Structure 1
Amino acid sequence: MKHPQTLIAGILALAVTAAGASAAVAAPADPRAVDRSPALASRSLAALAEPIGLEIGVAVAADQLGADRKYTKLVAGQFSTVTPENAMKWESVEPQQGVFDWAAGDALVASAEANGQLVRGHTLVWHSQLPDWLSPDGVSSDFSPEELREILREHVITQVTHYKGDIWHWDVVNEALNEDGTPRVSVWSEAYRALGLDPLGYIADAFRWAHEADPEAKLYYNDYNLEFTGPKSNAAHALAQDLLADGVPIDGMGFQGHLSTQYGFPDLEANLDRFADLGLEVALTEVDVRTAVAPRKNHEGEWTSTPATAEGFAAQREYWVGTLEACLAVPACVSYTVWGLADSNSWIPGVFPGEGAALLWDDHLNAKPQLADLREVLATSDAAPRVR
């Protein structure tokens, strides 16, 4: 396992009451905890990454873009790419069969164009966040296997055609593998299985349909826990090899990068490297780093967005640095996207109770020390230009 080259010393002390109440951040002992260079602090992540050719992105909540002035300003000013957090998922785009709602996605594209940003489309094919008319649970459906395949084809072609020329990268297929490397059971895998086809055959079809609709868009497979070497990342590597061997137009692999400090830092650089060795682009697509957070005082079962321990906070900062350094170390890593702007709009607390504080800005959209860490990594990097 390759640990980050830059180790963060003297992390902020966190004071936690004996009763386990909310932790408070003490005065920073480490000069890195505060960006002391006005010139560096005033430069955006995108501007610092530009000389390397690395795109720095953020997942955007459609309801906050334009509605929250500070949120909108940070999204426009700090990042060179944006990803719709939910606005381009199936339940949002096609809430009724054959009835498409492009409003939220179009608004994000218009904002990106106005601010000179690229758009990562997310996501065309997934087992989750499907409309009820299609599948209430991501597995079952009232449609026949033949009908499901045609519904999939129509949806992919219609959506990619609508955004033709507007999307830089598409996450064509999302999370098709289990942790043990076997195909995830989904409405798509079971339809193809019932047709006597490879249960992962829908992946190749989706890539071909997407390429047919927009030959210029870069097409990615996207999944979590590919950062660690193991059955899942091995299966994803074999899948990529098979797709390439069959002439499927796949351009890249998306490593989501949802990390937790309760687990060791992954051998990320090595895994980025081995996919890049196949001739693919690689990208970190959904980075956040969660840790245990302190309980909310006098509110049983509720949590703050404050790390519960100094050790957890220190690990968060180290993991943020490590993810960016791993990407910079691999020239085929062309994009680094954080999954949400601030802790106040993170998905983590709703899925992992007792964990959080996972992003670069806090609940009040104040920058956290992790942001200064990433700025310093970019400002001091001698990474090779990106290979596209």
Structure 2
Amino acid sequence: MSMRRKVALAASAAFIATLATATAQDPTSLKDAYKGAFVVGAAINNAQITGQDSRGDAIISEQFDSISPENVLKWERVHPEPGTYAFDLPDKYVAFGEKHHMFIVGHCLVWHSQVPGWVFRDDKGNFVDRDTLLKRMHDHIQTVVGRYKGRIQSWDVVNEALNEDGTLRQSPWLKIIGEDYIEKAFQYAHEADPQAQLTYNDYSLENETKRKGALALITKLKAEGIPVTSVGLQGHLGLQWPSVETEDVTISDFAKLGVKVVVSELDIDVLPPATQQQTADVSLKVEQNAKLNPYAGGLPQSVQQELAKRYADLFGVFLKHRDVVTRVTLWGVTDADSWRNDWPVKGRTSYPLLFDRNGQPKPAFHEVVRIGKSTEAR
């Protein structure tokens, strides 16, 4: 072997060794990049819970240190009929989190959607009275939260109780029980697991009018001694809305009330808005229109870069408030998993997350990791 060849090989080996050392020293996962600031989570689906999606499971275990259940702990899934609970998948979900030493979230206990009709009606089809519904709520929360006491660390207790104008949503919970249904839900959850973190969770709280309603609600609950630990900003956001300044103000406003903030369901829509309303209401349906699905064949690089900058800017805000923000959870693992693919327009191809449909990290992923690793941000 010539001397030049030996020198080249030695130089190459040295470079590889240096690169390996740097890689070992520098955090390259989301959870490592934000270690000491807040946990980074993902919402996981049935296939990931049961091990059918091995690619997704690998991403979850490598990148995240928290999980939320996309559906398995919603009332219609876990408690479909009176006296009947389906704990097989929830048990697997909790076991998955424990296996990977994760912060485990329960989602959600009281919501107006995905609730079986029997919950609100008697055997003749009439609405039940206040006491009956309170007992059903109490028994459900005691059974579900109690089963995972000390294992699920945080619960989304009440989900989406507010209208866009900040008033209370006219849900069956409100109509039958009254405004104190929210207080009761938190009380029951606290009784079932006094150590669990308890969250009020909602979307579009960046909208000032709705945020004022949420601030008033949390203020009222705190004044009455209700154990509200945190407010969940769902974070179903867009490329333009809300502004970075608005996100900053929103977190600050809730921090002033003495509660923590979690970004509970983060994704960023890159598609044209299907409605003028800033909402994540799952009941919304919009007719198909080719103009609303412009990237069916793939996302242009220019939009990829725009998405990357948007994620970086938002994570910069979250890091700024790391004394208040305790968790940031992406609502899904890859673009293929996202609920936005079919909402509010059936069949749309969406790109709202950090990993693409093939499970590969997008430019947005690298930007988010870069922000987390930044010594300036610390």
- Mapped to 2, the partners of 1:107 and 1:312 lie a distance apart of 37
Superposed displacement of residue 312, structure 1: 4.2
Superposition TM-score, scaled by structure 2 size? 0.82
Deviates more, 1:112-121 or 1:259-268: 259-268
2:112 corresponds in structure 1 to 127
1:367 corresponds in structure 2 to 361
Equivalent position to 1:349, from 325, 329, 341: 341
1:225 corresponds in structure 2 to 204
- Mapped to 1, the partners of 2:65 and 2:305 lie a distance apart of 28
> Does 1:315 find its partner at 2:309?
no
| 1:222-371 superposed matches below 5 A | 222-228=201-207, 230-261=208-239, 263-265=241-243, 267-292=246-271, 304=295, 312-330=303-321, 331-353=323-345, 354=348, 356-371=350-365
Partner SS state of residue 47, structure 2: coil
Partner SS state of residue 63, structure 1: helix
| 1:68-217 superposed matches below 5 A | 68-134=53-119, 142-193=127-178, 199=179, 201-217=180-196
**CA-to-partner distance for each residue in 1:194-245, whole Å, 9 max, x for gaps?**
xxxxx2x1111111110011000010100001133x1101110111111111
Q: 1:71 to 1:40 in 2, by over 3 A?
A: farther
Equivalent position to 1:64, from 22, 30, 48: 48
Q: 1:310 to 1:292 in 2, by over 3 A?
A: farther
**CA-to-partner distance for each residue in 1:108-132, whole Å, 9 max, x for gaps?**
1101111111101110110011123
- Mapped to 1, the partners of 2:307 and 2:86 lie a distance apart of 38
Partner SS state of residue 46, structure 1: helix
Q: 1:189 to 1:300 in 2, by over 3 A?
A: closer
1:25 corresponds in structure 2 to none
Superposed displacement of residue 179, structure 1: 0.5
Superposed displacement of residue 308, structure 1: 6.0
One-letter amino acid matched to 1:322: D
Superposed displacement of residue 253, structure 1: 0.5
CA contact (8 A) 1:58 1:338 kept: yes
2:4 corresponds in structure 1 to none
Superposed displacement of residue 317, structure 1: 2.0
- Mapped to 2, the partners of 1:319 and 1:141 lie a distance apart of 49
- Structure 2 unaligned runs (5+)? 1-21, 273-287
CA contact (8 A) 1:181 1:236 kept: yes
Q: Which one has the bigger helix percentage?
A: 2
Superposed displacement of residue 329, structure 1: 0.8
Superposed displacement of residue 383, structure 1: 4.7
Partner SS state of residue 156, structure 1: helix
CA contact (8 A) 1:134 1:141 kept: no
Partner SS state of residue 81, structure 2: coil
Aligned residues: CA RMSD: 2.4
Deviates more, 1:317-326 or 1:202-211: 317-326
* Identical pairs, percent: 33
Query: How many pairs are equivalent?
Result: 332
CA contact (8 A) 1:305 1:357 kept: no
